[in-house]
Amino acid sequence: MIVTKAPPLPRLGKSLRRPDGMAKARGVFKFSSDLDEPGMLWGHLVRSPHPAARIAEIDISPARAMAGAAAVLLAGDVPGRPTYGLNYPDQPVFASDEVRHVGEVVAAVAADHPLTARRAAEAVAVRYEVGEPVTDPEVALRAAPVHPLGNVLAEQRVVRGDVAAEGDVVVEGYYETGMQDQAFLGTEAALAVPDGQGGIDIYVATQWLHIDQDQISASLGVPHDQVRVHLAGVGGSFGAREDLSMQIPLCLLALRTGRAVKMVFGREESFLGHVHRHPARMWYRHSADRSGRLVKVEARILLDGGAYLSSSPAVLSNVACFAAGPYRVPNAFVEATCARTNNPPCGAMRGFGSVQVCVAHEAQMDRLAAALGMDPIELRRRNALRPGDDLVTGQVLEGAVPVIELLEACSSAPLPPERHWETTEPGDLALPGGSGRAAEPLRVRRGVGVALGFKNIMFSCAFDDYSVARCRLEGGRVTITTAAAEVGQGLVTLLHQIAGEVLGTDEVVLAEASTVGIGSAGSTSASRQSVMTGGAVQAACQAVADAVLAATAARVGVPRASLQLAGGRVVSDDGCVDVPVAEAGALCGECFEETVTYQHAATAELDEKGQGDAHVAFVFSAHRAVVDVDVDLGLVKVVEMTTAQDVGRVLNPLQLVGQIEGGTSQGVGFAVMEELIVEHGRVRNPSFTDYAIPTALDMPPVRIAALVQEPQPGLPFGAKGAGEPPAISSTAAVLAAVRDATGVAVNRAPVHPPDIALALAPGTRAGQGDAGVTPS
């Protein structure tokens, strides 16, 4: 169901098919791992096996002597800046004195065959003096520095109202979330080709071409314009490709050898080579009056940022801003810290920061409802944000704030039919655990849980957010050029639709995304590209349309003021002229080209109390989960997910549904299975054999109860980014449903079978006489 408060548009709002869809479906689309170049070499990286160690000696002579080896590079071979980093260059291109996490790059090799490159990398002899890693973020805050910049990566406080205020009912809780991997299916790969004159072209699957260019240029020590970054086919990102991985070592190898070099990470190497979702520890205290109105929210939140900074400051800012959830909270005290450890680096992942705190603030709302003896839906309704309310950061909400609408749509949707367990045979696929003699049907309990979530869209906190686009109209054909990264989310389709909407044509071509000849489009992250690059394309096309109006007026000999743009057509007041913009441009016999930089309204930094208008706009979501739980084995089957989402304006319904289903699947995975197990700084499950993600058999139906379509003022077409919200409230909803089914105070994502089974074992409080496991 689409709850619409916006008039329809000719091309937007339709399920236009992806221009790259058929190639991907047929398996002929070129992803980054499919690239090749005649005579190319293969690169491989030497990585540290230790989370903390000093490098005593490196012997590269065995690798250099190997037949087929072309180059071996160390830290001393970096001609420019020896470090890099998305927000601050604190990470070495090659470790020289010490390594700070397992997988840190120590050297790079190039050879004439991928197996030779791997063997040459294995032949690089590194002697380490192994140290004791700092792997607990709480310990890190008082430990000796892991890095010269210290062990505090970021801090943010939010102080709102009277921090001494106290309600009649108080509930406290401690919550944790684990380390989640983005688990994209497209292999990390790139190809670097030297131009023979000191410059380099690199074709890479990335999320931000121009920030890659900046960092590569600095470390290569070559002029900015001699580093040309081109977008290769991307097989999913979800935040992991926003940071550099292989780019700098690969370019260095290509420049050293004078030949094209290709590098492809294996899956285990990929798990070690990119950032992950920050694990979190969260202490919460909610107080309310006896009617259920929130009086105060207090929280202390600690993130493990791993060894390097990456995007930890932005993630932590979101953690602090959204810690109280989408509720009216007059008084708040939030203290958020991100610690540096010897664990793998963490950074951006879908819904960054908001996912972790949603687990906690929604569990607190359920706990508070139980303490008040109130229905948890009613408690949320009573405290839900409304238009004109202010957040704990003091920012006033403008535009759509359909929190109650989403909650009611989700909670009132029909539930799936109840199962008749007394007639169900063991091994039925509908049981938790699926086929085989696993769950006893009569020991399965059903639970239902609801959660609300929200976050910002686009960059925040005074970040200079902009996107550049060019529109060229020649002979009726429209060419759009941007450096925006299509990572599978469907931006290429939306840009076609936006250009067609403004110019009244379906003859739209997108140029290859590159840093050559066009300014930055920013990162494909923070739910921003539909708005930012979509806005840039809209503005560029509008500028072309204006030029066409002027040219048409001159050609037909009418005043410019008598022509106007309506629905992608040039029309005159007297009706004598009525043609599509593109056709009018072709009739004028001219080439029209305009380049536009689109920027949103300025945001502010948060002050020392976490107050300020830090965000451009917000997006809200709700999920209801239905689960079946085997209370003996602790197995969970997610039976159904129902969602409602604030979408601003639907630009492509089919793609929107895909984003909702994909984000919900990641939320379900994070709730019941996805976790990188890190022990003493070492990842124990760096493969899809041991790191489980939901398969088609694990994923339940995703029902969309409502899409609230209320255009956001000030944004192009009123649209909002839609990819992140489904990943925020879905995890918390599944955990709430598990609590409802079992009575176990589930306080961690993901919940593992022993967490449930041991809590309900005979002799435990929850396990006495099946207490807390009666059917909902």
543 or 425: which carries more pLDDT confidence? 543
Q: Is the pLDDT of residue 736 over 90?
A: yes
How far apart are the C-alpha atoms of 111 and 114, rounded to whole Å?
7
Query: To the nearest 10°, the Cα dihedral for 59, 62, 63, 67?
Result: 160
- Tell me which of 155-159, 230-234, 379-383, 553-557 is least confident: 553-557
What is the per-residue pLDDT for 5? 58
Tell me the chain's radius of gyration from C-alpha atoms: 27
Q: Is the pLDDT of residue 580 over 50?
A: yes
Among 567-571, 580-584, 646-650, the range of highest mean pLDDT: 646-650
Q: Is the pLDDT of residue 437 over 80?
A: no
What is the per-residue pLDDT for 435? 73
Q: Determine the Cα angle at 24 with ends 19 and 30, to 5°.
A: 100
Using pLDDT thresholds of 50, 70 and 90, give the confidence band for residue 549.
Answer: confident
Look up residue 165 and give its two tokens: 């205020």
What is the per-residue pLDDT for 771? 33
Q: Is the pLDDT of residue 515 over 80?
A: yes
- Tell me which of 6-20, 256-270, 594-608, 657-671 is least confident: 6-20
Q: Where are the domains of the chain?
A: 400-457+618-776, 466-599
Q: Is the pLDDT of residue 559 over 80?
A: yes
What's this model's pTM, rounded to 2 decimal places? 0.95
Of the chain, the percentage scoring pLDDT greater than 70 comes to: 97
> CA distances (Å), 130 to each of 102, 307, 422, 755, in order?
12, 16, 58, 34
Is domain 400-457+618-776 given the CATH code 2.40.30.110 in the classification?
A: no
How far apart are the C-alpha atoms of 586 and 580, rounded to whole Å?
10
Is domain 466-599 given the CATH code 3.30.365.10 in the classification?
A: yes
- Mean pLDDT of the 300-319 span: 98
**358-396 tens-digit pLDDT:** 999 999 999 999 999 999 999 999 999 999 999 999 999
For residue 540, the number of C-alpha atoms closer than 13 Å in the C-beta half-sphere is 31
Please check whether residue 753 is in contact with residue 673, taking contact to mean a CB–CB distance below 8 angstroms. Answer: no
Please check whether residue 749 is in contact with residue 359, taking contact to mean a CB–CB distance below 8 angstroms. Answer: yes
Amino acid residing at 217:
S
How far apart are the C-alpha atoms of 672 and 452, rounded to whole Å?
18
Strand order in the sheet with 125-130: 98-99, 53-59, 125-130
**66-114 tens-digit pLDDT:** 999 999 999 999 999 999 999 999 999 999 999 999 999 999 999 999 9
Amino acid residing at 712:
Q
> CA distances (Å), 353 to each of 207, 279, 350, 372, 722, in order?
19, 10, 9, 29, 16
How far apart are the C-alpha atoms of 363 and 474, rounded to whole Å?
57
Look up residue 468 and give its two tokens: 């550049």
- Mean pLDDT of the 384-412 span: 97
Domain 466-599 in the same topology as domain 400-457+618-776: yes
Maximum C-alpha span of the chain: 92
Q: Is the pLDDT of residue 768 over 50?
A: no
- Mean pLDDT of the 114-137 span: 98
Q: Is the pLDDT of residue 774 over 60?
A: no
- Mean pLDDT of the 184-204 span: 96
Q: Is the pLDDT of residue 298 over 80?
A: yes
> CA distances (Å), 349 to each of 238, 483, 485, 684, in order?
5, 21, 16, 21
Using pLDDT thresholds of 50, 70 and 90, give the confidence band for residue 770.
Answer: very low
As to burial, measured by CB atoms within 10 angstroms (0-12 exposed, 13-18 middle, 19+ buried), residue 774 is: exposed
For residue 714, the number of C-alpha atoms closer than 13 Å in the C-beta half-sphere is 10
What is the per-residue pLDDT for 555? 84
Question: What does pLDDT average to over the chain?
Answer: 93
What is the per-residue pLDDT for 7? 63
Q: Is the pLDDT of residue 477 over 50?
A: yes
CA proximity to 233, closest of 534, 542, 487: 487
- Mean pLDDT of the 483-511 span: 93
- Mean pLDDT of the 658-680 span: 97
What is the per-residue pLDDT for 4? 54
- Residues with Cβ within 8 Å of 431's Cβ and at least 6 positions away in sequence, in order, are 424, 438, 439, 441, 444, 628, 630, 637
What is the per-residue pLDDT for 773? 33
What is the per-residue pLDDT for 16? 87
What is the per-residue pLDDT for 113? 98
DSSP string, 58-110: EE-HHHHTSTTEEEEE-GGG--S-SEE-SSS--EESS-SSEE-STT-EEEEEE
- Residues with Cβ within 8 Å of 698's Cβ and at least 6 positions away in sequence, in order, are 638, 668, 669, 673
